[in-house]
Amino acid sequence: MSAYDIVNRIKRDETPAVLATLIGVEGHSYRKAGAVMLFHEEGTIGSLSPGCLESDLQLRTGDVWKSGMPETVEYDMLSQDDFSWGEAVGCGGKIKVVLEPVKGDLRNLMLEAHGLMTYGQSVMLRRSLAGGNYAYSLEAAAGALEMRADDGWSEASFVTLLVPKPRLVLFGPGHDARPIADLAVRTGFRIAIADWRETSLLLGFDAEEKVVCSPGEAADRLHIGRSDYVLICSHQLQRDRIFLEYVIKHKPCYIGIIGSKARIGMLLEGLDAPETLYAPVGLSIGGEGPEEIAVSIVAEMIQVRRSGSRK
């Protein structure tokens, strides 16, 4: 789960919640400094350890919420004689965690961040300790993807980088696209659907955005941009061609087309294919059937997401 899932949960639910942020790491740790998780009434989102520290943190969240004050907790697994944490965690480092009640300024800024992330913007949530509590501010995160969370961090001052999930736009999806959408959601993408048929929107996709419009309007209606992934899967040549002509102008980082080489050849006739076009879509793993094909497609999107280029 990502920071986006945490912010999304805070947006949907006003019940008590406590944010846990890993602000310091010495030696080996399961997660790097900057990792966050959320404790809420129905459970947790995210993790800071393989699962052994969370129960102890959970016990502290009630008092943190009631007091309205942050709490710093340190776990020391460096000692060879300390088997209570080190052996269970399987690491042997020292980590420091800040627990914060999600209320007041923190919650308000989280809601503001949600609005910005919905439009593809990354932001930084900054804390500065003053009088035992934190002053919060939200800042643009230009260039923040290169930020190293453990550079100069302390209990008195640290930030959380809030990055939106990459969006996968499915154009004209049918039942065969369900495994793709399901796997994409599980691997960190959010789904948007565009179709000219209202019936396709009733297929039960886990989509945050849905638009019914002509193929020529879809790219504008969804505000497709350079950080988006697009999969063309309607199997209707003329409509796929119209959508492709318009979406190329928006320069998404990935455009995949489902179909045979012969069909794709007809679809691309007379077009200048951009570098970001993957057709036929998916890594060449010899996949058969909807599930294996979904693996090849989502794996290719992850490769693009992680490397920014073809491998």
- Which residue has tokens 């050849």? 265
Distance CA 38, CA 132 (A): 21
Which phi and psi angles does 208 have, rounded to 5°? -85, -25
Instruction: Identify the three-state secondary structure at position 34.
Output: coil
pTM, 2 dp: 0.72
pLDDT band at 292 (very low <50, low <70, confident <90, very high): very high
Q: Are 232 and 243 in contact (CB under 8 A)?
A: yes
Please give the DSSP secondary-structure letter assigned to residue 250. Answer: T
Mean pLDDT of 267-281: 92
| pLDDT, mean of residues 100-128 | 91
DSSP code of 253? Answer: S
Query: What's residue 310's pLDDT?
Result: 44
Model confidence at 80, pLDDT cuts 50, 70, 90, reads: low
Mean pLDDT of the 36-41 span: 93
For residue 95, the SS3 value is: strand
Q: Which two tokens stand for residue 37?
A: 């998780």
Residue 90 has pLDDT above 50, yes or no: no
Q: Average of pLDDT values for 144-157?
A: 61
Q: What is the pLDDT of residues 132-145, one digit of tens each?
A: 889 999 998 765 44
Q: How far is 254 from 261, CA to CA, in rounded Å?
A: 18
Cα distance between residue 272 and residue 244, in whole Å:
11
Q: Judge whether residue 88 has pLDDT over 50.
A: no
With a cut of 90, say whether residue 60 has pLDDT above it. Answer: yes
70, 99 contact by CB (below 8 A): yes
User: Taking 80 as the threshold, does the pLDDT of residue 263 lie above it?
Assistant: yes
Residue 104 pLDDT > 50: yes
Token pair recorded at residue 311: 């491998």
Alpha helices in 119-201 (DSSP H): 178-186
The single-letter code of the amino acid at 46 is G
Asked whether 201 and 261 are in contact (CB, 8 A), the reply is no
Are 87 and 103 spatial neighbours (Cβ–Cβ below 8 Å)? Answer: no
- The residue that leads in pLDDT, 84 or 47, is 47
Which helix H or strand E contains 231, and what residues bound it?
strand 229-232
pLDDT at 10 > cutoff 80: yes
Q: State the DSSP code for 223.
A: T
> Looking at residue 81, what is its pLDDT?
53
pLDDT for 308 equals 56
The mean per-residue pLDDT over the stretch 34-47 comes to: 91
CA 34 to each of CA 37, 122, 161, 229: distance values in angstroms, whole numbers, following the listed order: 10, 15, 8, 26
- The pLDDT value recorded for residue 39 is 95
Q: How confident is the model at residue 1 (pLDDT cuts 50, 70, 90)?
A: low
**Per-residue pLDDT, 91:** 53
Q: In the predicted model, what is the mean pLDDT of the chain?
A: 86
Distance from C-alpha of 66 to C-alpha of 199, rounded to nearest angstrom: 48
The confidence band for 146, taking pLDDT boundaries of 50, 70 and 90, is: very low
pLDDT bucket at 111, cuts 50 / 70 / 90: very high
What tokens were used for 217? 């309007």
pLDDT for residue 103 = 95
Fold of the domain built from segment(s) 167-307: Rossmann fold (3.40.50)
Residue with the two structure tokens 């920071």: 3
> Beta partners for 192?
169, 209
Element (H, E) at 19: strand 17-26
Contact between 284 and 304 under an 8 Å Cβ cutoff? The reply is no
Helices (H), the chain: 3-12, 54-67, 86-89, 104-118, 178-186, 215-221, 237-249, 261-267, 289-307
Does the pLDDT at position 86 exceed 50?
A: no
CB-side neighbour CA atoms (13 Å) of 154: 5
Report the distance separating Cα 238 and Cα 197, nearest Å: 15
Domain ranges of the chain: 3-162, 167-307
Q: Residues 199-237: pLDDT tens digits?
A: 877 788 888 899 999 999 999 999 999 989 999 999 899
Please write the tens of the pLDDT for every residue from 188-202. 899 999 999 988 777
Q: Identify the weakest region by mean pLDDT among 89-98, 118-127, 236-245.
A: 89-98
Dihedral, CA of residue 145, residue 147, residue 149 and residue 150, to nearest 10: 150
| pLDDT bucket at 87, cuts 50 / 70 / 90 | very low
